[in-house]
Amino acid sequence: MGNLTRLVSLDLSANRIEGRIPVSLGKCQSLSFIDFSANRLTGEIPAEVMNLSSLVNVLNLSHNLLGGKLLPELGNLEDLNAIDISFNDLIGEIPDPVVSN
């Protein structure tokens, strides 16, 4: 997936996809919209995804089986218009830059 360097929008919602979010997604430097909602994704949200400076529109990972701690890198997405990580099993505090936007 990391070879898709010009990909701007990725919507794989409601597809019963299982497994982890690929770390290689962090190489898609043009991505501004990610919707993986309503699947069966597990594991943590990769820091590489939260370091995508192009991610300014939407990050929707709701209704999955994601777990673990919310990483501080989530605060790097301060230009993001909308984030939805509801209905998962994530723990920890939401970083200040995300809350203040």
Q: Which of 18, 93, 19, 94 is nearest to 59 (CA)?
A: 94
pLDDT digits over 17-52, tens only?
Answer: 999 999 999 999 999 999 999 999 999 999 999 999
Whether the per-residue pLDDT at 89 is higher than 60: the answer is yes
Count other C-beta atoms under 10 Å from residue 22's C-beta. Answer: 14
Would you state the CATH architecture of domain 9-95? Alpha-Beta Horseshoe (3.80)
Grade residue 54 by pLDDT with cuts at 50, 70 and 90.
Answer: very high
Distance, CA of 79 to chain centre: 14
Domain ranges for the chain:
9-95
